[in-house]
């Protein structure tokens, strides 16, 4: 079952970036996280996707996207934030956390014939982090929406794309699903890059492959 990304103005999504801790390899980290993820599905984690950087980039990073019930379950004494920290602690024996934050979807768009923004095993995905100060996040969000509407239909090989804003106000993440790794790698410089840099934003770009997806529940509780 594919991982359907949250619609606009939905929250409860956490994106974390992890690097294998020596002597563990990326494959060992993937296997470990896939195994322990099953234990969190009954604790409010309703969607789970593991992405690995492409083998030719030399980074060996793993990105983990999770969607959690945003209201505390009646049968659990742990809050949503406590659960994700428990998950992060469970990963710590084999990985160092590079970054981990909560996000809400700001905007998204799909090519004709694609009805939902989703991740499936084997998909090629880009993640672009736009780092800025909290007071500029709304400006960046509007610019992301304008750029998506203006340029998305013209970009060859980009099947779907969206932007998620970090709830701490310091980051926006763009996530795009591609036809091929070649098409994704050709998109190192996006149309909005000069504008974002002009606002003093710092940019990071990586190409990933979806290694594992799980959707545990068909219902996501929203605030």
What's the pLDDT score for residue 209? 95
What's the pLDDT score for residue 196? 78
Helix (H) or strand (E) holding 214: strand 202-215
What's the pLDDT score for residue 191? 76
What's the pLDDT score for residue 218? 45
What's the pLDDT score for residue 79? 65
Compute the Cα dihedral for 80, 84, 86, 87 and give only its sign: positive
What's the pLDDT score for residue 60? 73
Q: Are 184 and 29 in contact (CB under 8 A)?
A: no
Helix (H) or strand (E) holding 28: helix 26-37
What's the pLDDT score for residue 164? 93
Could you write out the DSSP letters of every residue in 46-102?
EEEEEEEE-GGGS---EEEEEEE-SS--TT-SS-HHHHHHHHHHHHTTTEEEEEEEE
What's the pLDDT score for residue 55? 62
- Label residues 109-125 b or e (16+ Cβ within 10 Å = b): bbeeeeeebbbeeebbb
What's the pLDDT score for residue 7? 76
What's the pLDDT score for residue 116? 87
| DSSP 8-state symbol, 189 | S
Could you write out the DSSP letters of every residue in 149-179?
HHHGGGSTTEEEEEEEEETTSSEEEEEEEES
Global pTM exceeds 0.75: yes
What's the pLDDT score for residue 127? 94
Residues facing residue 66 across a β-bridge: 14, 48
What's the pLDDT score for residue 59? 58
What's the pLDDT score for residue 222? 36
Positions in the chain short of pLDDT 70: 8-11, 42-43, 55-59, 70-81, 216-223
Q: Are 203 and 132 in contact (CB under 8 A)?
A: no
* pLDDT tens digits for range 177-218: 999 999 998 887 777 788 778 877 888 888 999 999 987 654
């Amino acid at each position: 079952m594919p991982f359907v990304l949250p619609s606009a103005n939905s929250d409860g999504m956490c994106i974390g970036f992890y690097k294998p801790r020596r002597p563990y390899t990326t494959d060992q980290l993937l296997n470990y996280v896939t195994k322990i993820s099953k234990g969190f599905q009954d604790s409010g984690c309703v969607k789970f996707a593991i992405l690995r950087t492409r083998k030719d980039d030399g980074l060996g990073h793993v990105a983990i996207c999770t969607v959690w019930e945003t209201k505390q379950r009646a049968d659990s004494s742990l809050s949503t934030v406590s659960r994700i920290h428990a998950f992060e602690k469970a990963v710590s024996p084999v990985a160092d956390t590079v970054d981990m934050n909560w996000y809400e979807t700001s905007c998204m768009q799909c090519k004709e014939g694609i009805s939902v923004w989703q991740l499936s095993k084997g998909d090629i995905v880009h993640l672009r982090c736009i780092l800025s100060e909290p007071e500029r996040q709304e400006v960046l969000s509007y610019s992301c929406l304008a750029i998506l509407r203006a340029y998305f239909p013209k970009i060859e090989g980009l099947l779907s794309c969206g932007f998620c804003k970090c709830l701490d106000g310091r980051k926006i993440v763009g996530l795009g699903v591609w036809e091929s790794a070649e098409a994704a790698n050709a998109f190192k410089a996006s149309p909005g890059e000069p504008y974002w840099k002009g606002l003093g934003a710092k940019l990071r770009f990586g190409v990933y492959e979806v290694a594992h997806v799980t959707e545990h529940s068909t219902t996501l509780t929203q605030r």
